[in-house]
Amino acid sequence: MTTPFPFTAVVGQDDLRLALLLNAVSPAVGGVLVRGEKGTAKSTAVRALSALLPEVAVVPGCRFSCDPAAPDPSCPDGPHESGGGAERPARMVELPVGASEDRLVGALDIERALAEGVKAFEPGLLADAHRGILYVDEVNLLHDHLVDLLLDAAAMGASYVEREGVSVRHAARFLLVGTMNPEEGELRPQLLDRFGLTVEVAASREPEQRVEVVRRRLAYDDDPAGFAARWADEEAAVRGRIVAARRLLPSVRLGDGALRQIAATCAAFEVDGMRADIVMARTATALAAWAGRTEVLAEDVRQAALLALPHRRRRNPFDAPGLDEDKLDETLEQFSGEGDEDPDPDGPGGGGGGQPPADSDGGPQGGDTAARPEAGEGEPQTSGAGSGEQQAVRASEPFRTKVLSVPGIGEGAAGRRSRARTEHGRTTGARRPRGALTKLHLAATVQAAAPHQRARGRSGPGLVVRRDDLRQATREGREGNLVLFVVDASGSMAARQRMSAVKGAVLSLLLDAYQRRDKVGLVTFRGSAADVALPPTSSVDAAAARLESLPTGGRTPLAAGLLKAHDVLRVERLRDPARRALVVVVTDGRATGGPEPVALAGRAARLFAAEGVASVVVDCESGPVRLGLAGQLAGELGGTAVTLDELRAESIAGLVKDVQRRAA
């Protein structure tokens, strides 16, 4: 077994280490999500934590790690008698990004269940992680349905596996740790909320600290066992402190004053639901136990807020994470000393070590535009195709867009945009299984077996089912697509102060792409050329940031923009052939850049039509005289055209008027 890097040898990353240790002291905190750029010791710290956890007592031979002092009465390997048992190290189980549902929750042997009536269950990773650590690297890249199963098990402390009426339940209580790089995409807000704590990590900018990181890593790589031996005393001290804190935890008192501070803080930051209050209370209690105290102080509440609230106050994916610490201090000061005696008369002054920065790298600074837009506030733009450099225009308020989808049925990554053949969704038919049977179509299986019962010697009630009779259910769900935005940033668009509305529309489409779990890319064209402002990525945050700083002005090289988009799709098709593309061209349809601009643009558009690429043109033309060029472009692309007004999803007021009109 490879010797892990010592936890106490990790340089810096105080918040990360504290969050992990608090979960080790009190697993009820709910796990931790570690967000940060690549190469910041996220995985190293998590793997090192498992060596610090105390050994666990288990029932010998139990595949579900039942506690001999209180065995699970519904354990599939049970029933177990109380008492006895053996001790083993706490496990750290890693969940691969490409894992299947059966690998996560376990699998039933469908053939034996049908043919023999035997409930044969093979445990999954949730069973392996019981009473240990379940580590998910790149959790933001995990399929949504797996994340849902994972977090439901973490919340309930149990895993349920059901296949065609056969049900298995087993305990699954574990310390959930997820790591992610925000550049590769965000988790949905409702999933973020299921992690107890979150930590933002970044590489140190201090040369001396970076030198120490390299020095320790090289020493570990040269002699892992020798390096670990040099840190053995520090590791033993932390391990002993975890054990002591666990023993002290039930004695820690959370007074009414601290509870009021927790409630007031969650209310002041407008956090939805009550989970944040509960997590803050548990975290503050664990902080007190870790410090060796039996009373929760104001400094514990402050530190708990910095760990438990940043990921819960985001209203949309473009909001930058983090807390306003001045506002936090004011709230704690206002509610200090109320209800009972506060043992810390100085208020919230003590918990400042290692707070996440106010302006974190977890999201674009331009994200505030989505939350606090200034509609139509673009600076006056000069007209004419040959206008020079201009200031970037702020986006207008985003809105809910009409659904844009790719026609046909795909087989790409799970998402919420276009129809696809998936492992989850509504059943649409049955087929013979190709490989292992995963989703049994019971009716089709019975139909296939029924005509052969007499030949198989069955004359009475019952059914003889053989392997050839089994039928796999075919299901239809939704897939995520590659949504490639091709945005006209030329002078013809900005001349009439349209860029603010255009950016607002693209921002709305980006928000829609985030919610539907798409990859996004951004191509812009202006002046004499087109640029790939953002290669295809799962991070809509990055796309929103590029959009915010997008300059405008110059001629309209429409053909160059389309050809650049065509090249991006060609490369992406080689990387991810199963993911279908949707090209969204945002333009007024004018073409003025390059020789024969109109003819070249038409030829470029017909390339998309010839390859059957789904496309939508968002027509940004305005004014009393409209040339209809965007509609012509949509025809050559083989797609459809919508205006900025038509892009908005129909409002409730519009539906009411329509009903009233029909009633009249």
Residue 169, classified by CB atoms within 10 Å of its CB into exposed (0-12), middle (13-18) or buried (19+), is middle
Active site residue 275: yes
Tokens (6 digits) for 443: 């009716």
Half-sphere exposure in the Cβ direction for 432 (13 Å, CA): 6
Measured N-to-C along each axis, helices 256-268 and 325-334 cross at an angle, to the nearest 10 degrees, of: 140
Contact 38, 181 (CB under 8 A): yes
The residue type at 521: G
Strand partners of residue 122: 107
Which of 63, 188, 216, 275 does the annotation list as catalytic? 275
Q: Please name the residues in contact with 342: beta carbons below 8 A apart, sequence gap of 6 or more.
A: 255, 257, 258, 297, 298, 336
DSSP tag of 66? -
Q: Would you say 630 and 641 are in contact if contact means Cβ atoms under 8 Å apart? A: yes
Burial class (CB in 10 A: 0-12, 13-18, 19+), 183: middle
Spatial separation of the C-alpha atoms in residues 647 and 510, rounded to whole Å = 13
CA distance 516 to 481: 9
Nearest by Cα to 202 from 322, 290, 47: 322
Phi, psi of 121 (to 5 degrees): -120, 130
Secondary structure string (H, E, C) spanning 394-426: CCCCCCCECCCCCCCCECCCEEEEEEEEECCCE
Tell me whether residue 256 is exposed, middle or buried, using C-beta atoms within 10 angstroms of its C-beta: 0 to 12, 13 to 18, 19 or more: exposed
Q: Do the beta carbons of residue 104 and residue 139 sit within 8 Å? A: no
Query: Which is it for the CA torsion 64, 70, 76, 78, positive or negative?
Result: positive
* Residue in 461, 456, 492, 437 with CA at minimum distance from that of residue 164: 437
The DSSP annotation for 330-385 comes to HHHHHTTT-SS--S-TT-S-S--TTPPPSS-TTS-GGGHHHHS--TT-PPP---ST
Cβ contacts of 98 within 8 Å, gap of 6 or more: none
The Cα–Cα gap between 545 and 340 comes to 47
Query: What is the number of other CB atoms lying within 10 angstroms of the CB of residue 55?
Result: 10
- Positions marked active-site: 275
